[in-house]
Amino acid sequence: MSTISSARPAGGERYLVGVDVGTGSARAGLFDLTGRMLASGKRDISLFREAGAMVEQSSTEIWAAVCASVREAIAKAGVAPEQVAGIGFDATCSLVVLGEGGASLPVGPSENPERDIIVWMDHRAVDQVERINAQGHEVLRYVGGRISPEMETPKLLWLKENRPQVFDAAWQFFDLADFLTWRATGDLARSTCTVTCKWTYLAHEKRWDPSYFHGIGLGLLAEEDFARIGQRVVEPGTPLGTGLTEQAAADLGLAVGTPVAAGMIDAHAGGIGTVGVDGPPENNLGYVFGTSSCTMTSTHEPVFVPGVWGPYFSAMVPGMWLNEGGQSAAGAAIEQLLSFHPAVGDASALAKTRGVSLPVLLADLAAEKADTLSGVVALADGLHVVPEFLGNRAPFADPHARAVIVGLGMERDLDNLVSLYIAGLCGIGYGLRQIIDAQAAAGAPIDKIVISGGAGQLDLVRQLLADATGKPLLATRAEEPVLLGAAILGSVAGGAFPDVRAAMAALSAIDRTYQPAGDDVATLHAKRYDAFKRLQAVARDIR
C-alpha cells in the first residue's frame, strides 16, 4: 500500500491501472507509461472453509475490495480519473456461479448465496477428476494428460451432481478474471487465458470440444452451445464492450468508457510482467511464488510434458504456446510447515516485536548464522521436506500426494525452527527443479528463472531457489510484477502500445540477478535433491 510518488502529475500525462485478485486480497496499482508504479491500494478478502476440502469466497465482497483498492491507488497518486488510459484485471482461477440478472448462487452446503465462488484451491471434485481422467479424452493431452481438481470442468460436474438446483439455475459460470471484466463492462467475452488453461477450450482450433462435455456428463453445456461458459473468446488485452459502464465507473472512481482489457489468471499476469525482461520469452521461465506457485514456459511449437499443464496456445504470450506447472501449496506450505513447530509461538511474538513477518524474521536469523546466502543450506543438515501438503500439481498431477518431513528430533528452540524453514524452502526449490527437468526432457528447456509473487521477495529465498535449481534467477525492477502484468493488458486495450509483446518490452526491466552457487554448494543441493525425489517416491509407494 506504499506510495512511491505523491506528487500530482501534469494534466496531460496518461496512466494505467492494474488490478490483481489473489487468494487473500485484492490489490490495485497505478503505473505510468514507463512501468513505474506510483501508488497502490489493497483490501483483504475472506476465505470460507468447509469440510471436504471446500474453500469458498464471495464475488460481491471481491468486487467491493477491488473498487476500494482502485480508489485508494488513484487518491494516493493524485491522478484525475480521466488520465487513466486503460485498466486490466487478473485473478485466481476460481469459479464464479451467478443466476439470472447476475444474482449470486450458493455453491456449497452453507446455502449462503453470497458464497458464490469455488476457490481454485478447493479440492471437492477429486472423485469427478478421477472419473474424467479415466476416460482419457483427447482434450486431456492439452492439460498434461490429467485434469486437476483446481480446474473448472470437474467443479462444474461436482455442482451438477451434488447441487443440481444451483447448476440448473446458473445463468453464467465465470472464471474470476472474466467475472471482473463482465462486472466492469457488461461484456460476456471470455479470455483465451482462462478458458484454455482451466476449462479445456482449444485455443489453437478456436473451439470447445462437445464430445468431451458429453463424455464426462456435462453435455447440457454443449447442447446450449456453451452459452453459460463462453461463446466469444478473445486474447488477453482485447478491449471489451465500450469500456467501463456508468455503474462500474462510479464504483471504481474512474471515468465512464475507460478502456477495459480482457483479463488473465493471476500467475499468467506475473508471467507477462516478467518473462520479457531479458531476451526472448522462450528463454525464461516465469515463476510466480505466492500462496501456491506457478511456472510458465513459452515455446514456438507445442510441447507435451506429462504432468505439466498445456500446451496452451496464446494463453500468456500471444502467438506462443504455454506450459504451466507449479506447486499447489508454496507460500502456504511454508506457513503450514512452520505452524507445527513448538517454537513458532515465541518466534511469532519476536517477529511482531521487530515489526516484521515470521518468514522475514527467520530469513534474517538464517542469514546471521551463515557466512553467505548460499551457505544457509547447511543449516538444514539432516532435515528434508517434500512440501506437498495439497498434492503435487506438477510434474505428477497427483492430488493425493501429501507432505513428507524427515529428520525432526526433540529440539524445541528457535534455531531448529530456522533449520526447518530452510529445509522447507529447499523443498520448494527442488519441486521447481523437478518441473524444469521434466520440461527440458520433453523439449522445452529454459535458461533463466524470472521470479514474482509475494513469497519470493526476500534475497535469501531468491538465492536459495537459484542454488537449488542451478539456474540464474532474475528479479524485475517492478515492485509488483503481477500488478504490472495486469496494467500491461490495460495499456494494450487503451492503445498505449500496439500489442502485449511491445508493452512487455517497454514496461518491464531487470533489477537484480542471483547466480547459482559454486561446486560445493551445488553438490550439496544435488544430494538433497536426490533425497527429495527418493522420499517423494517412497511416499507414493507406501500410500
CATH number at residue 506: 3.30.420.40
- Please tell me the number of Cα atoms within 13 Å of 121 on its side-chain side: 25
8 Å CB contact between 70 and 42: no
Q: Model confidence over 386-444: pLDDT tens digits?
A: 999 999 999 998 989 999 999 999 999 999 999 999 999 999 999 999 999 999 999 99
Residues 300 and 361 placed together within one structural domain of the fold = no
What's the total number of domains in the chain? 3
* CATH number reported for the structural domain that contains residue 362 in this entry: 1.20.58.2240
Q: Of 52, 48, 194, 158, which Cα lies nearest the Cα of 111?
A: 48
Same domain as 215, residue 117: yes
In a domain, 5, yes or no: no
Is residue 427 domain-shared with residue 482, that is, in the same domain? no
178 and 101 co-located in one domain: yes
Q: What rounded mean pLDDT belongs to the chain?
A: 94
- Whether residue 75 lies inside any domain: the answer is yes
Per-residue model confidence (pLDDT) at position 427: 98
Q: Which domain holds residue 361?
A: 331-435+519-542
Please indicate, yes or no, whether residues 79 and 159 belong to a single structural domain of this protein.
yes
Local confidence pLDDT in tens for the 543 residues of the chain: 333 333 333 447 999 999 999 999 999 999 999 999 999 999 999 999 988 889 999 999 999 999 999 999 999 999 999 999 999 999 999 999 999 999 999 999 999 999 999 999 999 999 999 999 999 999 999 998 999 999 999 999 999 999 999 999 999 999 999 999 999 999 999 999 999 999 999 999 999 999 999 999 999 999 999 999 999 999 999 999 999 999 999 999 999 999 999 999 999 999 999 888 877 889 999 999 988 999 999 999 999 999 999 999 999 998 999 999 999 899 999 999 999 999 999 999 999 999 999 999 999 999 999 989 999 999 999 999 999 999 999 999 898 999 999 999 999 999 999 999 999 999 999 999 999 999 999 999 999 999 988 889 999 999 999 999 999 999 998 889 999 999 999 999 999 999 999 999 899 889 999 999 999 999 999 999 999 999 999 999 998
User: 508 with 523, same domain?
Assistant: no
Task: Establish if 274 belongs to a structural domain.
Answer: no
Question: Do 49 and 184 belong to one domain?
Answer: yes
Domain presence at residue 269: no
Check whether residue 109 and residue 237 sit in a common domain.
Answer: yes
Any domain includes 272: no
pTM, full prediction: 0.88
The secondary structure of 120-184, three-state, reads CCCCCCHHHHHHHHHHCCHHHHHECCCCCCCCHHHHHHHHHHHCHHHHHHCCEEEEHHHHHHHHH
324 lies in the same domain as 392: no
Are residues 207 and 123 part of one domain?
yes
* Amino acid 454: pLDDT: 83
In a shared domain, residues 215 and 239:
yes
Distances (CA, A) of 393 to 102, 309, 322, 515, 537: 32, 9, 16, 27, 15
User: What is the bridge-based pairing of β-strands 264-265 and 293-299?
Assistant: unpaired
In a domain, 31, yes or no: yes
Q: Are residues 216 and 315 in the same domain?
A: no
Judge contact between 341 and 416, C-beta under 8 A: yes
Please check whether residue 49 lies inside any domain of the structure: yes
